[in-house]
Structure 1
Amino acid sequence: MKILYICTHNRCRSVLCEAITNASSGPLQAQSAGSQPVGEVHPLSLQYLAEKGYRTEGLKSQSWDEFEDYEADLVITVCDSAAGESCPVYFGKSLKMHWGLEDPSKLEGSDKDKALAFYDTIDIIEQRVAALAELAKRSLSDESFSREQLKDALVKLGAR
């Protein structure tokens, strides 16, 4: 299952999702992009991903226009502003869902507070990716599990 994570600036939450998804076991392949990318990944995103053992090589902030030919099975928005934007027409065949994650990079406070915010966000993403991986495995291994059943299962996880 090919997933495209979307966040307006593609510098924190969507990048965290991409790295965690690509490290998961199972048939998931992820990219991330933004409608208004800032051009660089937030340094704390890279730091806390690395501390949790995730690979950070190749992670970058990029435009969703670069994914016109990606043919994502699933497009997941992770910030409320991206969820309210109109997706490009080339995502029309993709299932869409919204995860609504808090942005840990915007937290002001001590280094410990920031670390806890990033770790909490990473934990939430890990749980959701594990659920997606199970759905993807089931849809690939069970011939009777239709795209409509997958869509219904995704709705229960927050799809729209």
Structure 2
Amino acid sequence: MKLLFICTHNRCRSILAEAITRHVIEKENSGWQVRSAGSQPAEVVYPGTLNFLQQQGIRTEGLQSQSWDEFEAYFSDSDDDPVIAITVCDSAAGETCPVWFGKGIKAHWGLPDPSKLEDKAEQAALFAKVSATLTKRIQALLTADIKDDAQLRQLLTDLSEVG
């Protein structure tokens, strides 16, 4: 399966989701492919995101803020592989996925943005909370016995409540 995490600026939450998912995939030896992107990318990953991931022992190589337009060929050429797009910020929840997204499955897992906090202790606590939430959701998604698209859609919706 192909998984795309979307957040408007692709600089914090979607980057966290991509990195954490790759970390979990490595442990599970899963065949999932994961990326992150934004409709209006910031062009730079928030430094606090990279610092947090590195402190957790999660690899940060290759993480970058990029436009979802860069993935048109990658995701539109997936007749055999289901494509899932998960928005992780409130402003991206209402965005229309691009035409090339085709028959992909879209879900929303709204998460608070640690990069918006000025206080470093509060920011660190929120990074930890968001990371734990993403880890639970991703582990549940990757280990689920999914039989069809309807079941997958329901699971994605159910996971949006896991915290």
The two structures have a TM-score, normalised by structure 2, of 0.86
Counterpart residue number, 1:146: 148
CA distance in structure 1 between the partners assigned to 2:153 and 2:121 by the alignment: 39
Counterpart residue number, 2:58: 54
Unaligned runs of 5+ in 2: 76-81
Counterpart residue number, 2:8: 8
SS for the counterpart of 1:93 is: coil
Counterpart residue number, 1:87: 97
CA distance in structure 2 between the partners assigned to 1:10 and 1:130 by the alignment: 22
Cα deviations across residues 129-157 of structure 1 (Å, max 9, x unaligned)? Answer: 1111112xx23xxxxx2233323333322
CA distance in structure 2 between the partners assigned to 1:28 and 1:50 by the alignment: 22
Q: 1:155 to 1:118 in 2, by over 3 A?
A: closer
Unaligned runs of 5+ in 1: 140-144
1:78 aligns with 2:78: no
Contact 2:4 2:35 in 1 (8 A): yes
CA shift, 1:37, in A, is 0.4
1:132 aligns with 2:141: yes
Show the 5 A alignment for 1:13-52: 13-24=13-24, 25=28, 26-52=30-56
Counterpart residue number, 2:159: 157
Q: How many equivalent pairs are there?
A: 151
- Superposed CA RMSD in Å reads 1.6
CA shift, 1:93, in A, is 1.1
SS for the counterpart of 1:8 is: coil
Contact 1:21 1:28 in 2 (8 A): no
Counterpart residue number, 1:115: 124
Moved more, 58-67 or 111-120: 111-120
CA distance in structure 2 between the partners assigned to 1:91 and 1:74 by the alignment: 9
Counterpart residue number, 1:142: none
Contact 1:33 1:63 in 2 (8 A): yes
SS for the counterpart of 2:73 is: coil
The two structures have a TM-score, normalised by structure 1, of 0.88
SS for the counterpart of 1:68 is: helix
SS for the counterpart of 2:3 is: strand
CA shift, 1:88, in A, is 0.5
Contact 1:27 1:133 in 2 (8 A): no
